[in-house]
Homo-oligomer: A and B are copies of this chain.
Amino acid sequence: MSRPAQRRAAAVRHRTLTDVASAADVSPSTASRALRDSPLVREATRRRVHAAARRLGYEPNRLARSLRTRSSSLIGVVVPDLGVGFYARSVKGAQDIFERGGYQVLVMNTEREPAREAAALRTLLAHRVDGMLVATSGGFITPPGIPVVFFDNLVDGAGVARANREGMALLVDHLLEHGRRRIAYVGAPPLLTSGIERLDGFRLAVARQDLDVPAEYVQLGDEVWSPESGADATRALLALEAPPTALVTASDTLALGAMKAIRLAGMRVPEDVAIVSFDDPFFGDLLDPPMTALARAERELGEFAASLLLHTLESGPDGPVPEVRLPVRLIVRRSCGCG
């Protein structure tokens, strides 16, 4: 951990409660109560203090308040990559809820490295966050002793996530309605619950329909679910002797990579190969062809997880919150062969 070099003193000295108190001619105790609108202080006093505070441009020091009250009003949010739309919008949804509850948010990126995730955890603990929202990349080792809500990936069966298996079934079943039976899977390594459950969901769905899916029809890309790995997987599939006529991709990024690979191979979507995607790309309806995918629910995911944490924070844990599933919904566009 590098420490910042020698720092200069702050340019301005902030006004303190004592400043306000003397300006209003009361004790700091009274000033404090007045500013928090305690019923203990006389109306006239209350007003005088507020006026003084406004006049001085007083902004209470949250650090001091937090130290004293042992509650930082800070929530830590840990995500793999804020540059990924899914996480950015989840965070935003969560943040809206937290701010409405009077909490501020400290966001940490882990770049999907478990070591950085562990470091992020310690940093947040050092800031004495009141709780955490975590989309883990696998580095979440120590139970921090404060409320934690996982989202996107479950940990020890707890957290908020989408119904991955049901989603996969929707996608597979829809392709079957189009009569496609050579269906391949373009996914990611089954390291965390989203990867595991989507792969598992695919397998369950095809088995239920008595589809014969050869082993080489299941292609797993890299751990960051990159478009490039989706393209590579697709290239491998197209090179097969009996290439698939439809792809189910485990994410929007993989779908975009797959689409690009198909186009570069001189083939057409959906005529030659149909594609359906688990996540809806942000511009899914502007792609050519528009992508059939499960509806996005990042915002809801973030909001739901945040509400859950907020609830725990304010009324205490009322029983375990093991597992919450957000329903999935299919958006039918053109890449599947419809329209």
Report which A residues bind B (CB closer than 8 A).
1-12, 14, 59-64, 66-67, 70-73, 81-83, 85, 88-89, 91-92, 95-96, 100-107, 109, 122-123, 125-128, 130, 145-147, 256, 259-260, 281-283, 285-288, 299, 313-316
Name the B residues within 8 Å of A3 (CB-CB). 102
For residue A285, which residue of chain B has the nearest CB? Answer: B260
Name the B residues within 8 Å of A127 (CB-CB). 62-63, 104
Name the B residues within 8 Å of A91 (CB-CB). 82
17 new A-B contacts, CB < 8 A, other than A7-B314, A8-B314, A85-B88, are A2-B101, A10-B128, A10-B130, A10-B145, A60-B126, A61-B128, A62-B128, A82-B92, A82-B95, A83-B88, A85-B85, A95-B107, A105-B106, A106-B106, A107-B107, A282-B282, A288-B288
A-B residue pairs in contact (CB < 8 Å), sample of 26: A1-B102, A6-B314, A7-B71, A7-B313, A9-B70, A10-B70, A10-B128, A10-B130, A11-B147, A12-B145, A12-B146, A62-B128, A64-B67, A81-B92, A82-B82, A82-B92, A83-B85, A85-B85, A85-B88, A105-B106, A105-B107, A259-B286, A260-B285, A286-B287, A287-B287, A288-B288
Contact A8 B70 (CB under 8 A): no
- A313–B7 CA distance with the chains assembled, in angstroms: 7
**Chain A contact residues: over half helix, strand or loop, or mixed?**
loop
Nearest CB of chain B from residue A93's CB, rounded to whole Å: 8
Name the B residues within 8 Å of A128 (CB-CB). 10, 14, 61-63
Contact A10 B146 (CB under 8 A): yes
- A1–B1 CA distance with the chains assembled, in angstroms: 36
Contact A123 B104 (CB under 8 A): yes
- A88–B84 CA distance with the chains assembled, in angstroms: 8
- A264–B5 CA distance with the chains assembled, in angstroms: 57
Contact B125 A59 (CB under 8 A): yes
Nearest CB of chain B from residue A115's CB, rounded to whole Å: 14
Given contacts A62-B127, A71-B7, A281-B283, contact A89 B83 (CB under 8 A): yes
- A288–B122 CA distance with the chains assembled, in angstroms: 46
Contact A104 B106 (CB under 8 A): yes
Name the B residues within 8 Å of A122 (CB-CB). 59
- A81–B147 CA distance with the chains assembled, in angstroms: 27
Contact A2 B102 (CB under 8 A): yes
Given contacts A8-B313, A64-B67, contact A2 B100 (CB under 8 A): yes
For residue A314, which residue of chain B has the nearest CB? Answer: B5
Name the B residues within 8 Å of A67 (CB-CB). 61, 63-64, 67
- A106–B124 CA distance with the chains assembled, in angstroms: 12
Name the B residues within 8 Å of A256 (CB-CB). 283, 286
- A95–B109 CA distance with the chains assembled, in angstroms: 8
Nearest CB of chain B from residue A58's CB, rounded to whole Å: 10
Nearest CB of chain B from residue A196's CB, rounded to whole Å: 27
For residue A69, which residue of chain B has the nearest CB? Answer: B7
For residue A252, which residue of chain B has the nearest CB? Answer: B283
- Kindly identify which residue among B1, B59, B82, B130 contacts A88, using a CB–CB cutoff of 8 Å: B82
For residue A61, which residue of chain B has the nearest CB? Answer: B128
